[in-house]
């Protein structure tokens, strides 16, 4: 297997435009909202061809309730003696410097990292990010969904401790290397996106949430509707898998999102989409990270046959919205 991999690498004409190094990152957090905090972080540094150079892991004291312990397994007792983010910011930065940040649903990891650096009155030395969900789509990998475990299974990578930052980063690094080689072999453009430092964050102390994490609760997603100007384009109908979004399509959101909901809706409106506050037979697409929930929108989407995608897939679709009338 190694000899075959080495021969494949040798026979590959490596694109000169590809980055010279990568930092595969995973962070575990107290939740998904903009005021949530990082509680552990891991980085696998890779060279230009995806080979592992070293790895690093740390716990981080969030100075608050750790959130969904049943998911990440990190309790307050385990985190109380951990360093604060500001204490590990320099070492974390050294691991990221001059590399492309690689993560699964990279916009979430990047925004969490950027907000932590903003709180520490510093800037993460990251200029570009690469989402492995987007890369798997560029490669047309036959995955049943966009979960990390599906990507790992496709490449035969064994996941040992799901939602543990170090193991998730290891799994992603092992799955990223063959993805990178496949992209180089077929001369696929890497889906690199610019990373802009964030300045929006909340320093307000979080209310105690022992035994309950509001960011993960379906009942916590209600908020007042925001008045928006009417969409200037007619509704072209439902979105179909494998096709781009079109201006005028009616988009509904359900449940929590890793990107602040209003920011995500703003991006949709800027792209020429109609953000709907309710779901009907005219809805073109429902965006939700929990399609099996029993919210009114997901129930209606199933009964109407409305297409459903998760936030990561929708973010990628926003990159290339077709003009109205095409």
CA–CA gap between residue 31 and residue 39 (Å, rounded): 10
Tokens of 156: 């035969």
pLDDT of residue 223: 38
DSSP 149-206: HHHHHHTTPPPSSTT-HHHHHHHHHHHHHHHHHHHHHTTPPP-EEE---------SPP
Provide block-wise average pLDDT over 10 residues at a time, the chain (326 residues).
Answer: 43 80 96 83 97 98 89 93 97 97 91 91 92 92 87 95 94 97 94 78 44 33 54 93 92 81 80 91 92 87 93 82 81
pLDDT of residue 5: 45
For residue 29, give the 3-state DSSP assignment: strand
With 0.75 as the threshold, say if the pTM is over it.
Answer: no
Q: How far is CA 32 from the centre of its chain?
A: 11
Q: What is the pLDDT of residues 305-317, one digit of tens each?
A: 999 998 888 887 8
> Nearest CA to 136 among 316, 322, 318?
316
Q: Are 273 and 247 in contact (CB under 8 A)?
A: yes
pLDDT of residue 12: 55
Exposure b/e, 173-208, CB count within 10 A at least 16 = b = bbbbbbbbbbbbeeebebbbbebeebeebeeeebee
Rg for the chain (alpha carbons), in Å? 20
């Amino acid at each position: 297997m190694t000899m075959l991999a080495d021969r494949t690498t040798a026979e590959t004409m490596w694109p000169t435009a590809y980055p010279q190094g990568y930092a595969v990152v995973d962070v575990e957090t107290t939740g998904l909202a903009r005021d949530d905090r990082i509680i552990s972080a891991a980085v696998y540094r890779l060279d230009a061809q995806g080979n592992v150079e070293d790895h690093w892991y740390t716990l981080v004291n969030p100075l608050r309730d750790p959130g969904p312990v049943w998911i990440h397994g990190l309790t307050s007792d385990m985190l109380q003696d951990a360093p604060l983010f500001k204490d590990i910011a320099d070492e974390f930065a050294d691991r990221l410097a001059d590399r492309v940040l690689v993560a699964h649903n990279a916009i979430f990891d990047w925004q969490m990292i950027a907000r932590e650096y903003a709180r520490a009155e510093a800037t993460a030395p990251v200029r570009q990010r690469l989402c492995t969900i987007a890369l798997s789509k560029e490669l047309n990998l036959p995955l049943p969904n966009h979960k990390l475990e599906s990507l790992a299974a496709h490449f035969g990578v064994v996941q040992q401790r799901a939602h543990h930052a170090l193991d998730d980063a290891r799994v992603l690094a092992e799955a990223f290397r063959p993805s990178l080689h496949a992209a180089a072999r077929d001369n696929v453009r890497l889906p690199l996106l610019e990373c802009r430092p964030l300045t929006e964050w909340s320093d307000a102390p979080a209310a105690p949430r022992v035994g309950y994490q509001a960011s993960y609760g379906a009942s916590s997603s209600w908020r007042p509707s925001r008045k928006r100007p009417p969409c200037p384009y007619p509704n072209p109908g439902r979105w179909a898998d494998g096709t781009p979004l079109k201006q005028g399509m009616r988009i509904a959101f359900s449940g929590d999102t890793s990107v602040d909901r209003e920011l995500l809706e703003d991006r949709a409106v800027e792209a020429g989409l109609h953000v709907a506050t309710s779901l009907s037979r005219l809805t073109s697409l429902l965006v939700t990270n929990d399609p099996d929930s029993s919210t009114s929108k997901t129930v209606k989407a199933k009964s109407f046959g409305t297409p459903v995608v998760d936030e990561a897939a929708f973010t990628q679709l926003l990159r290339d919205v077709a003009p109205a009338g095409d």
